[in-house]
Amino acid sequence: MLARIAQELFWLGRNLARAEATARLLDGVFQADLQGRPDDPSATRLGWDSLMHIMGGQRNGVPARRDAVLDALTHDRDNPASVVACVARAREGAQAVRDVISAEMWEAINTTHLRLRDGELTTRPHSGPYSIYQHVKERSALFWGLTGRTMLRDEASAFLSAGGRIESGDMVLRMLRVALPVGDEGDSADGQAIALLQAVGGFQAYRRAVPAPAHAKPVARFLLFERSYPDSVAAAVDAVNGALKTADGSPRSSEPILRLSRLSADLEFRRSAESDADLRVTCQEVQRELGKVDADIAQRYFGGARAA
């Protein structure tokens, strides 16, 4: 496969996963903001300042306001982190590889882009943004479902999947580092833990998998280590590793595959041996390692090129 095509597929997956993760996070924070009671300290949730920090926004000491954050991260085309901008970039990538993906996949992402671009779902974001986020989540699920049903399971689908999964793992790590500074935070951190589970769509999965209440430390461990939950960091690492093994003709000599294998083993070791006090350090180290994996992938498969 041409390096250019592989790179387009990889970043198509990343941009679509970023749009979905941002939509889920915005929806979770918005709903928590509506339901929270300022006089109840145990109801402390992910705030708008935290959300901007997660997405890499500037923080100048001025508290972030809800409407400004919704504007910046939902439909501001000039903000590369916004949902609309991510979908637009994904659509550009899909257009470049239309002969590789299926017609149904192209139709799914193109229709999503057109509805967002034309303002059909973004005319009243402050009074009711739920429809925007629900649409993006549903259309993203449709795209990935069509990928599994209509695309050959070859190196093309492998690079597409690798991009989506590495982005989802990175987004979970960002959320954990900001929303769950594991330590002695008490009720405040526990409220944020519940909000985070709701934002990533893992609340029901957590309740089935973990007997402990949704406090900060067990939630952090679940989102880091629980391989049976597909959006955990460990599951994302394993999925990227498996996808690259499919795409690479010489996986035993592939630096990104070797690094991912070491990271997967390290996560399993930390799951059984690490104290809860080190979870925040784990998030930092794993995110740093995923950044190295990203650079290795670009070097080995894309000729050293990096997407902006």
The pTM of this model reads 0.88
Flag whether 74 is in a domain: yes
Give the contacts of 45 (CB within 8 A, at least 6 positions apart): 29, 32, 33, 36, 191, 192, 194, 195
Flag whether 76 is in a domain: yes
pLDDT confidence of residue 28:
75
Flag whether 125 is in a domain: yes
For 168-210, the pLDDT digits (tens) are 999 999 888 877 654 555 555 666 777 788 788 898 999 999 9
> Taking 80 as the threshold, does the pLDDT of residue 13 lie above it?
yes
Flag whether 219 is in a domain: yes
> Taking 90 as the threshold, does the pLDDT of residue 144 lie above it?
yes
Flag whether 307 is in a domain: no
Model confidence at 297, pLDDT cuts 50, 70, 90, reads: very high
d(CA 13, CA 16): 5
Find the length of the chain: 308
Q: What is the mean pLDDT of residues 86-98?
A: 96
d(CA 296, CA 189): 35
Give the contacts of 236 (CB within 8 A, at least 6 positions apart): 165, 166, 168, 169, 172
More confident residue, 303 or 269: 269
d(CA 16, CA 172): 15
Flag whether 306 is in a domain: no
d(CA 102, CA 85): 23
Tell me the DSSP string of the chain.
--HHHHHHHHHHHHHHHHHHHHHHHHHHHHHHHHH--TT-GGG----HHHHHHHTT----SSPPPHHHHHIIIII-TT-TTSHHHHHHHHHHHHHHTTTTS-HHHHHHHHHHHHHHHTTTTTS-TTT-THHHHHHHHHHHHHHHHHHHHHS-SSHHHHHHHHHHHHHHHHHHHHHHHHH---SS-THHHHHHHHHHHHHHT-HHHHHHH--S-S-HHHHHHHHHH-TTSTTSHHHHHHHHHHHHHHH-S-GGG-HHHHHHHHHHHHHHHHHHH--GGGHHHHHHHHHHHHHHHHHHHHHHHSTT----
Domain extent for 275 = 3-301
Please tell me the total count of domains within the chain.
1
Flag whether 290 is in a domain: yes
Model confidence at 37, pLDDT cuts 50, 70, 90, reads: low
Question: Would you tell me the crossing angle of helices 216-225 and 255-273 to the nearest 10 degrees?
Answer: 150
Flag whether 63 is in a domain: yes
In the numeric block, which tokens belong to residue 168? 């989802």
d(CA 81, CA 52): 10
For 39-67, the pLDDT digits (tens) are 554 444 567 777 777 777 655 554 677 78
For 201-259, the pLDDT digits (tens) are 898 999 999 988 888 888 999 999 999 999 999 999 999 999 999 999 999 999 999 99
% of the chain at pLDDT higher than 70: 81
Closest CA to 25 of 202, 228, 160: 202
Closest CA to 105 of 140, 153, 156: 140
Give the contacts of 17 (CB within 8 A, at least 6 positions apart): 140, 163, 164, 165, 167, 168, 171
pLDDT confidence of residue 128:
57
Asked whether 95 and 117 are in contact (CB, 8 A), the reply is no
What b-and-e string marks burial along 42-80, b requiring 16 or more CB atoms within 10 Å of the CB? ebbbbbbbbbbbbbebeeeeeebebeebbbbbbbbeebe
